[in-house]
Amino acid sequence: MTAVEERPAREVGSARKRREDAHLLTGRTQWTDNVTLPGMLHVSVLRSPVAHGRISRVDAAGARGVAGVVAAFSGADLADDWGSLPTAWTVSDDLKTPPHLPLATDKVRFVGDGIAVVVATSREAAVDALEAIEFDIEPLAPALDMTAAMADGSPLVHDDVPNNRCFTYTEHHGDYSATRGRAEVVVTRRFINQRLIPSAMEPRSVVVAPTGADEYTMWSSTQVPHFVQIFMALVTGIPQQNIRVIAPDVGGGFGSKLEVYAEEAITLVLAKRLGVPIKWTETRSEACQVTIHGRDLIQDAEITATRDGTVLGLKVDLTADMGAYLQLLTPSIPLLGRYMYPGIYKFDAHEFGCTGVFTNKTPTDAYRGAGRPEATFVIERMMDELAVELGMDPLEVRRKNWIKHDEFPYTTVAGLEYDSGNYEAATGRAMELFGYDELRREQAERRDRGDTVQLGVGISTYTEMCGLAPSRWLGQVGYVAGGWEAATVRVLPLGKVEVVSGTSPHGQAHETTFAQIAADALGVPFEDVVVVHGDTRTAPIGLDTYGSRSLAVGGMAIVEASRKVVEKARVLAAHQLECDVSDVEFSDGRFSVRGSPDAAKTIQELAFASFAAHDLPGGESPVLTGEAVFDPEVFSYPHGTHLALVEVDTETGAVRLAKYVAVDDVGKVVNPMVVEGQVHGGVVQGIAQALFEEAIYDEDGNLVTGTFVDYLVPSAADVPSITTDRTETPATTNPLGVKGVGEAGTIASTPAVVNAVVDALRPYGVTDVQMPCSPQRVWEALNQARGGAQ
């Protein structure tokens, strides 16, 4: 019995258990912080204790005498070693991109801004010696509230950015004011999409080893080793080809490691200066302060409609907190959502505006969904508000306005062409699993009885754009690079297969799912395929992992590269079988002559023949290898219907999420087990925004929620079991029919849960509860609605 006979007829679609588990389950891991090299030193960063202040003096000399200390530098000492950290997206002509040095020299702009470093023989010695650095910072009043920060006379985060305005952006589709003239109903709301701390479980870590003449190997806990290589070259002036970046095991990212960080530049520059390996690993409290935050928007929305429930126009105006500096993608995040505000609905007009504001807080950037959860939150909350205004069932309003399954492809008011979808099917399945009608009945009964514990039903019929991204589109919107992805597929001499991918995982199972794709494409056993990734030396071409792009873009590159391998093998097969190339059929790893199935060569046989190269057809080069770069022409559009049931104690404000059903349509599925896992995790992250998490600053700009004691990442005991199912409407825009799933759960679940909480409290006149819907917030909303003092 061979492995070939045991394997499923097709790998794609099967719930293969993950091959990456073996080392993760047994502790044979390669987290960056596990990297230990001979002679390695440790760096620790002295960070600003104030949110805003002018630096008059930083003197690192005192630290140099402390036991174990090898070197200590202020920002000024290293100012010539680097330039500004990058921002890769020029979102508007008026974008202000103030300098962002890895260590501050003139002003500190948030609590945690680095001002000096100590290098020592141990982590402990480096931390201890920070206390010996002397510094004088003249405190300045901080700009903390976004709205106040834009007012005349506000403290300026950057002295040359008036009113702290980073950028303004507007976009008009159709004539929104005209819809206002025709509208019979206008609903206006303001939402606060609170600041979140991404909280990947692995804190960031960087190790840099000098390996030659101005040559370095960097291990970094990053989603984007290729970005880091390019930008480290630009920031430090070290030639790009001399910087090898390795993303070894990476313990979660969620966008927070889609970044080029100060500590990467610091570690690299110190390794260059001192000529020995240097390690930096953040503590959790450091992570909370200096690893990027997510969300943080004021969202003003207005929807116009007719009495029968037909939506006309949508107006959205955002104020977005950039924090103290622009990180890699900071200004683009609120704008990435601009296409998603109309959701799945048929609007005549959409008006969008956004103002980016600097404040003396941790920079914000991409956090799971990156602009799309924020957009989905608004549209799905607004559809509920509109339903209440009209006295309609919220599902009915959605049904009335969504794109019908036979109307695809459909170009939305925001200008995106949705290729496929079936909102009716996903919603129908979700309602069935949820027991929608029955729960509505129970809700009515509780309302009639005046129970103190009320039921609320929340709906989210979301879509999103995945597969970042068409390079042409990225260029048009001011992004510095493209969005293609690369793959190399090699059949090794002994018939085994090596797939090299430019996108690397931090939990998403690329090693398993990419092997499934290649196994099918080449007709080889799954076990014979290894996936190589996450190292700019071994996988030099790539654009990394974010925006649910790995499968929809990177997977396509593997399909294409595999196809090239098959075509190359077909030519060799024809030569060996003495027939015309067009007569060679390929199926399940065998090349046979049409009409003579016994005359055949396996891909493994051909791989060795190609390697030996003793008898190749004219013009053919040795070795069965194929390379491909796939650049998508369009986005993909997963969608789904999520339903949440909450019990709200109207006396205490306590919310219990009693039931959650997620029916997602992510197109064709490579590995249903992996897809379901992505949905579970995404949903809980979205629930966490709805119910638990919020980054809070005090009036001086100190992060109050600076540890896991104060920042409530939910545990198993805080969340319910999630019921999942799928409908499958294949994407028509790629050969696999896949759409992407990494962010869907997070995008969908936040509005579902908040809609449920508000729904439970409707009889009391509550129209909104600000996230997170903590007992206190719920109680306050109830009390206010009842006319009580706040």
Contact residues toward other proteins (CB under 8 A) are 17-22, 24-29, 31, 33-34, 36, 124, 199-203, 249-252, 254, 283-285, 506-509, 527, 673-674, 676-678, 680-685, 707-709, 713, 715-717, 719, 721-722, 745
Please give the helix or strand (H or E) that residue 253 lies within, else none: none
- If the CB atoms of residues 34 and 90 are measured against other proteins, the closer one turns out to be 34
Q: Please report how close the Cβ of residue 144 comes to other proteins at its closest, in angstroms.
A: 25
Shortest gap between Cβ of 568 and other proteins (angstroms)?
28
Amino acid making up residue 722:
I
SS3 489: strand
Min dist CB 277 to other proteins, Å, is 15
Q: Is 614 exposed, middle or buried (0-12, 13-18, 19+ CB in 10 A)?
A: exposed
Of 275, 287, 281, 266, which Cα lies nearest the Cα of 73? 266
Q: Which is nearer to other proteins, 200 or 318 (CB)?
A: 200
Tokens of 553: 């873009």
Helix (H, G, I), strand (E, B) or coil at 230: helix
Query: How far, in Å, are 303, 338, 347, 456 from residue 385 at the CA level?
Result: 9, 20, 16, 14
> How near is the Cβ of 591 to other proteins at its closest, in Å?
28
CB 284 → other proteins: shortest distance, Å?
Answer: 4
Count other C-beta atoms under 10 Å from residue 61's C-beta: 11
Tokens of 625: 């290898």
| Between 110 and 254, CB nearer to other proteins | 254
DSSP for 314-373? EEEEEEEEEESS--SSTTHHHHHGGGTTTTTB--SEEEEEEEEEE-SSPPB---TTTTHH
Strands 311-323 and 349-358: parallel
Do residues 224 and 199 make contact, with C-beta atoms less than 8 angstroms apart? no
Taking the least distance from each CB to other proteins, the nearer of 25 and 612 is 25
**Cβ 460 to other proteins, closest distance in Å?**
16
4 vs 178, beta carbon nearer other proteins: 4
Q: How far is the CB of 188 from other proteins (least distance, A)?
A: 35
CB of 202 to other proteins, least distance (A): 4
Largest CA distance in the chain: 90
Output the smallest distance, CB 749 to other proteins, in A: 10
Is residue 3 within 8 Å of 219, Cβ to Cβ? no
Residue 30 Cβ vs other proteins, minimum distance, rounded to whole Å = 9
Cα–Cα distance, 638 to 667 (Å, whole number): 7
- Nearer residue to other proteins within complex by CB, 416 or 433: 433
DSSP 8-state symbol, 307: T
Give dist(CA 592, CA 599) in Å, integer.
6
CA–CA gap between residue 73 and residue 545 (Å, rounded): 34
Question: Please, which residue, 81 or 535, has the CB nearer to other proteins?
Answer: 535
273 CB-contact burial (10 Å; exposed 0-12 / middle 13-18 / buried 19+): middle
Q: What are phi and psi of 473, to 5 degrees?
A: -65, -45
HEC letters along 70-103: EEEEECCCCHHHCCCCCCCECCCCCCCCCCCCCC
C-alpha–C-alpha distance, residues 552 and 40, integer Å: 40
- Cβ at position 506, least distance to other proteins in Å: 5
Nearer to other proteins (CB atom), residue 197 or residue 357? 197
Residue for token pair 């068409």: 470
Choice between 16 and 338, CB closer to other proteins: 16
Position of tokens 């095991």? Answer: 249
Task: Give the CA count within 13 Å in the CB-facing half-sphere of 313.
Answer: 24
Q: Which is nearer to other proteins, 23 or 537 (CB)?
A: 23
CB 250 within 8 A of CB 222: yes
Smaller CB separation from other proteins, 40 or 480 = 40
Give the nearest distance from C-beta 716 to other proteins in angstroms. Answer: 4
Ramachandran category for residue 112: left, alpha or beta (phi over 0 → left; psi -120 to 50 → alpha): left
Shortest CB 512 distance to other proteins, Å: 10
For residue 674, give Cα distances in angstroms to 22, 169, 443, 512, 741: 16, 38, 35, 9, 10
**Rounded least distance, CB 147 to other proteins, Å:** 32
d(CA 515, CA 236): 37
If the CB atoms of residues 548 and 625 are measured against other proteins, the closer one turns out to be 548
Across 231-258, b (16+ Cβ under 10 Å) vs e yields: bbbbbbebeeeebbbbbbbbbbbbbbbb
Q: How far is the CB of 771 from other proteins (least distance, A)?
A: 18
Q: Nearest distance from residue 14's CB to other proteins, in Å? A: 13
Nearer to other proteins, 199 or 412 (CB): 199
Rounded least distance, CB 83 to other proteins, Å: 32
Measured from the CB atom, the residue of 724 and 729 that comes closer to other proteins is 724
CB closer to other proteins, 493 vs 714: 714
Q: Report yes or no: 688 and 660 within 8 Å, Cβ to Cβ.
A: no
Q: How far is CA 153 from the centre of its chain?
A: 36
Nearer to other proteins, 734 or 750 (CB): 750
Q: Which is nearer to other proteins, 251 or 421 (CB)?
A: 251
